[in-house]
Amino acid sequence: MRHSVPIQTLLLRVFLPAIAVVAIGLGLLTYNRLYATILEGFDRKLITTSALTGAMIDSHDHDRLIAIARSAPRSDIAERSPEYLRQVRPMRRIRERLGLTYLYTQILGGDQDITYVLDSTEGDNHSAIGAEDDLPEETLAGVRRSIAHGTIHLSPIEYQEQWGLLKTAAAPIRDGSGRVVATAGADVNVSLIQVATQNALFTSVVIGMASLLACVLAVLMVVRHIARPLDRLRQEALRIAGGDHRPLTPFAAPRDIARLQAMLAERVATMTGALTDARRSLLTAQQQAATAAAHNRLREVAEVPALRFTGPPAQDSDALLRRAAAARLAERIAADPELAGRIAAFGPMLRLADGESADAVLPDGGTVRIGAAS
């Protein structure tokens, strides 16, 4: 006699190999989601900072500073001017509090791609007013679009020869007449993103280990208390309860569950017959009720003072439809006497059954024939 596979062995064969897959999958999914969230956070920070910086720059001060930058000054006198300090000090505070690498304003042109105007960076990495720089092609194209269309450009992580790996946002700056003449740039160094990513990786490992432990505990509980045949029986019961009354497909199961399976199959057979009869009766009753309701509605529509209909009593749907159509036309004619004249000239519009005729009663008491037997 063939013995069924023990429930514990069966569940261990199924679930134990899946534990590692689930844990690794959860770890990778968490890492990818965290990494995407980190980049999205930097993107929002860069876009918001560049846009606010571009909006808060005073156009008159900045226009004067642009003129100085274009003249390629050879000293830092301009950077000690009131116009420069009024604009750069708030930018320095913003850059420090938000942890950005660079925050500056720039214009297109010069011997290189761009010319710097304001730069909140201090120390060796500071770009003096009038300093020039070359940009990667995609960033340069984005800056040009920002100036041409007044949009905000967000670059991917790109390598810049002088500054290293950066992620950049550029927002438009307008002059005194409202034209976009420059951009406010906000940069973050990739090292900051790497630190945040490493933290995300550590978090992913912790979550993966926790999920692994949770999966092991869950499998041990399932192995101890639940068996696949019992779950199969539950699924069959739910299928039947949901309205699917197909016969049960036999499946291997322990003795007690096999006995329950046989009882459920017997109940399904009995219930299926009863439900079939009940559905047939319900469908017949619904059809009869719908037909009666439709007839009553057509009788109500056909009973209007503007219609004089002769013929045998309406017993079927076709007769009721003819009367309802005549009633609608009679009401229309009674409301529009001119239409009555046209119908009188061309003859009845409705084709009725033998022995039937329809006249529209006009407001003055006259009638016009609107339907007759063909």
What is the token pair recorded at 112?
């290189």
For the full predicted model, state whether its pTM sits above 0.75: no
Cα distances from 96 to residues 31, 93, 246, in angstroms, run 28, 5, 70
250 φ, ψ to 5°?
A: -60, 145
CA 328 to chain centre: 47
Predicted local confidence at residue 330, as pLDDT: 78
**Whole-angstrom distance, CA of residue 295 vs CA of residue 319:** 10
Is the sign of the CA dihedral 143, 145, 147, 152 positive or negative? negative
Predicted local confidence at residue 22, as pLDDT: 72
Contact 119, 104 (CB under 8 A): yes
Predicted local confidence at residue 1, as pLDDT: 39
Predicted local confidence at residue 2, as pLDDT: 46
Low-confidence ranges of the chain (pLDDT < 70): 1-12, 27, 192-194, 196-197, 200-201, 204, 208, 220-228, 245, 251, 253-254, 256, 290-291, 293-302, 314-315, 374
pLDDT digits (tens, 9 = 90+) for 48-59: 999 999 999 999
pLDDT digits (tens, 9 = 90+) for 246-275: 777 776 766 767 777 778 777 777 777 777
What is the token pair recorded at 139?
């960033």
Contacts of 358 (CB under 8 A, 6+ apart): 307, 308, 309, 310, 323, 326, 329, 330, 348, 350, 352, 369, 370, 371, 372
pLDDT digits (tens, 9 = 90+) for 129-181: 999 999 888 889 999 999 999 999 998 888 777 777 788 999 999 998 999 99
Q: Where are the beta strands (DSSP E) in the chain?
A: 102-108, 114-119, 132-133, 153-154, 158-160, 164-174, 180-189, 307-310, 350-352, 357-361, 367-373
Predicted local confidence at residue 272, as pLDDT: 75
| 172 strand-pairing partners | 183
Angle between helices 317-335 and 337-346 (to 10 degrees): 120
